[in-house]
Structure 1
Amino acid sequence: MGSSDAAFAGSIPAIYEQYLGRLLFEPYAADLAARLGEMPKGRILEVAAGTGIVTRVMAKALPKNVEILATDLNQAMLDLAAKNLDAPNVTWRQTDAQTLPFDDESFDVVVCQFGVMFFPDKQAAYREALRVLKPGGLYLFNVWDRLDANQLSKVVSDVTGAAFPDDPPKFIERVPFGYFNHDTIRRALQDAGFGRIDIDVVEKISEAPSPLHPATGLTQGTPLRMEIEARGANRLEEITHKAEEALKARFGDGPIENRMSAIVVTAQR
């Protein structure tokens, strides 16, 4: 994975939040928060918090005496997240999930929404999560299922690949949809030292108001944008339009029903 695969800067965070937040991430944020149950107190560490979509849901769903420390590698994402949430029990900090600057056994739960796929050294991130968890603590995260089970994203991936046949951008299939094998995930967590590991496939349905909405979000609000611009400096709007037209052909030109599939993992120290 190249360094640009985890780069969310410039206008990307705002586009990501506006066009992809409700469409892709809010349904699964609610699922993760619900899995925390009636957590009465304690400390939660969120890694790869992005624009704070899960953070906002947890802050609303959990008691105010549950402390939430939300972190991300990209300060631009955290800056936008902090603007969208003002809660006394939530703090923000820029940090790398692979080298956490926190004490051993200092959190009850570690949460990560669609971030594990971006970690170059997943084993290091798993070991760090284990280290900062208290005995019996939970590591709760989700990753996308295979690309074929997420047709909206697949259409956009196919379009961008066809636009550059000699050097197709592979970000979508390589990173967000490249880490879905249950056995691989389970073995990596076991090797890191986790005990009980539960893996669920969770399907959700959301709606995009038009084909342009997801086309813009995926081509301009993710690191796919850098791959497109690297291959054709002035072709971003063209590729966005091609993605819009392909989505129209697949789903129609009105609101789009977006069927999604993700993998949710709960690992206990």
Structure 2
Amino acid sequence: MNTLRTDTNFAGRIPEIYDRLLVPMIFEPYADDMAKRVAALGPSRLLETAAGTGIVTRAMARTLPAHVDIVSTDLNQAMLDRAEAIGAGRPLTWRQANALQLPFDDASFDIVACQFGAMFFPDKAAAFAEARRVLRPGGTLLFNVWDRIDQNDFADTVSGALGRVFSADPPLFMERTPHGYFDPRTIARDLARAGFDATPDVDTVTARSRATSARVAAIAYCQGTPLRNEIESRSGASLDEATSACAAAIEARFGAGPVDGKIQAHVITVQR
């Protein structure tokens, strides 16, 4: 699926809501998993791309020895500003950078790590080629992507509810981008096009997504992601009305009070 320009627009209120609500709801379990995988590889210098508001950066900063040099990057300065304001508990480098044009020398990192960012790259093979370029021989590219939307309960419920609210022109951000790059065969082809000769290892990891209420989950998706941009560009329902419709759908499926749903992702590891 093609990535629209608005799909990478994490600005305005989005970074704050994303970090406050969505990060603990769906990203924390995978951040801890990513940090453990990185630590097991014993890097001395690490590059993170598409770092967002820094959930993986902080997990790696806690897990990796103090001598490991961490460079954390993202395309969106607003997301990095949020990440840097929170901090990581240790010195590291925060830098705005496009994953398709990395401002680093060839063969300068042991690991390139990326959590739930590859889906947003407009040219996946080009981004993987850049990762390969900055990796030292024998270095590792480690990234994860969401599985199909029907394997991710809250996202699937929100997308279905918005399809009913905006039936003539449904917002398709969730299917198109976060959950649009899930096929291991496609990923393997893009890695091969990028110059990776090794067969990638694909590990499917299932976890649980929890929120204190259906409304919190709905706000996280509708107002803390670029889905907000699609909702606000449509007539027929306001952002608050669309959010309320999604909250009602989540509550109908998962009950009142705290809600709990399945999330599932693929973790891909490939050596240079």
| CA shift in 2, pair 1:225/1:104, >3 Å | same
Is the Cα–Cα contact under 8 Å of residues 202 and 269 in structure 2 kept in the other structure?
yes
SS in structure 1 of the partner of residue 169 of structure 2: coil
How far apart are the structure 2 equivalents of 1:86 and 1:167? Answer: 41
How far 1:183 moved relative to its partner? 0.5
Write the deviation string for residues 23-50 of structure 1: whole angstroms up to 9, x where unpaired. 1000000111111234555111000000
How far 1:87 moved relative to its partner? 3.9
**Runs of 5+ unmatched residues, structure 1:** none
Q: Does 1:33 align with 2:35?
A: yes
Match of 1:44 among 43, 46, 55: 46
Alignment partner, residue 223 of structure 1: 226
Alignment partner, residue 19 of structure 1: 21
Q: Does 1:186 align with 2:188?
A: yes
How far 1:174 moved relative to its partner? 0.3
Q: Does 1:60 align with 2:72?
A: no
Alignment partner, residue 154 of structure 1: 156
| CA shift in 2, pair 1:3/1:197, >3 Å | same
Higher mean C-alpha displacement, 160-169 vs 138-147: 160-169
Is the Cα–Cα contact under 8 Å of residues 108 and 138 in structure 1 kept in the other structure?
yes
Is the Cα–Cα contact under 8 Å of residues 7 and 223 in structure 1 kept in the other structure?
yes
How far 1:57 moved relative to its partner? 0.3
Higher mean C-alpha displacement, 212-221 vs 39-48: 39-48
RMSD: 1.2
Higher mean C-alpha displacement, 31-40 vs 53-62: 31-40
Q: Does 1:125 align with 2:161?
A: no
How far 1:241 moved relative to its partner? 0.5
SS in structure 1 of the partner of residue 142 of structure 2: strand
SS in structure 2 of the partner of residue 37 of structure 1: helix
Higher mean C-alpha displacement, 185-194 vs 26-35: 185-194
What is the TM-score normalised by the length of structure 1? Answer: 0.97
How far apart are the structure 2 equivalents of 1:38 and 1:89? Answer: 21
| CA shift in 2, pair 1:86/1:259, >3 Å | closer
Alignment partner, residue 87 of structure 2: 85
- 1:198-209 alignment runs, 5 A limit: 198-209=201-212
Alignment partner, residue 235 of structure 1: 238
SS in structure 1 of the partner of residue 257 of structure 2: coil
Is the Cα–Cα contact under 8 Å of residues 104 and 133 in structure 1 kept in the other structure?
yes
Structure 1: which 4+ aligned runs deviate by more than 3 Å? 37-41, 86-89
Q: Which amino acid aligns with 1:36?
A: V
How far apart are the structure 2 equivalents of 1:61 and 1:86? Answer: 11
Is the Cα–Cα contact under 8 Å of residues 157 and 170 in structure 1 kept in the other structure?
yes
- 1:2-17 alignment runs, 5 A limit: 2-17=4-19
Is the Cα–Cα contact under 8 Å of residues 41 and 65 in structure 1 kept in the other structure?
no
Alignment partner, residue 259 of structure 1: 262
How far 1:232 moved relative to its partner? 2.8
Is the Cα–Cα contact under 8 Å of residues 43 and 110 in structure 2 kept in the other structure?
no
SS in structure 1 of the partner of residue 250 of structure 2: helix
What is the TM-score normalised by the length of structure 2? Answer: 0.96
Identical amino acids, percent of aligned pairs: 52
Alignment partner, residue 75 of structure 1: 77
Match of 1:249 among 240, 248, 252: 252
Match of 1:141 among 140, 143, 146: 143
How far apart are the structure 1 equivalents of 2:97 and 2:8? Answer: 13
SS in structure 2 of the partner of residue 168 of structure 1: coil
Is the Cα–Cα contact under 8 Å of residues 45 and 68 in structure 1 kept in the other structure?
yes
How far apart are the structure 2 equivalents of 1:4 and 1:90? Answer: 30
How far apart are the structure 1 equivalents of 2:223 and 2:215? Answer: 11
How far 1:165 moved relative to its partner? 1.1
How far 1:234 moved relative to its partner? 6.4
